[in-house]
Amino acid sequence: MDILKHRQQRAIVLFKKVDHFELNVCQRLNRMGHRREICVFFKAISRLGDGVFWYTLALALPFILGIEGVYALVHITITGLICLGIYSQLKNRLVRQRPFISFPDIHAHTAPLDKYSFPSGHTMNAVNFALLFSWFYPPLMWLVIPFAALVGLSRIVLGMHYPTDVIVGAILGLAISACSIVLYPNGLMHSFVEKTI
């Protein structure tokens, strides 16, 4: 327990230095949210990125692709749960406070889902899902990749995250989805079914 607290203290000291380095970018992007139409747009993107957008697409896959869509749905669900487990653990261990908590001039244009910001779970999931949807059903690429980029940007504009939260979240999401594709190019369940038949 003492080791964990010691590591958290070290992370807090490091993040305080990085926070000030990133503050200028955060302030500039966060000011965009003072314009009502921009705020409404990015709140909608962020809200859809909570899951509604991805769940809708995922549930549509079996109707579009048949049994292959079911395999894709299972694969996407499992990697989503892996992302959830990883970013939850990292947030609770690294305890980086959100920008609007650390700096009074950064406004929270939406309600946070939790207290800590590193890494961005929204971005991690968005990049993971964007790559997987593009892999399993390439016509969706033109929709999911721009949407994932907007989700990452929205988290900074809304005062929820620093740029490094978003960048690291994107890298982790990309790594998880890419590894899952390399290991199971036809989907996790598809590979399981092939082995058991």
For residue 189, what pLDDT is reported? Answer: 66
For residue 19, what pLDDT is reported? Answer: 62
Domain tally for the chain?
Answer: 1
Q: Tens digits of per-residue pLDDT, 139-181?
A: 999 999 999 999 999 999 999 999 999 999 999 999 999 999 9
- Please give the residue range of the domain that contains residue 121: 2-196
User: Cα dist. 48→32, 34, 86, 127, 175 in Å?
Assistant: 20, 20, 21, 14, 23
CATH at residue 65: 1.20.144
User: Cα dist. 54→126, 128, 132 in Å?
Assistant: 8, 11, 11
Q: Tens digits of per-residue pLDDT, 49-79?
A: 988 999 999 999 999 999 999 999 999 999 9
Q: Which residues are catalytic?
A: 122, 161
Q: Tens digits of per-residue pLDDT, 102-135?
A: 888 888 888 888 888 889 999 999 999 999 999 9
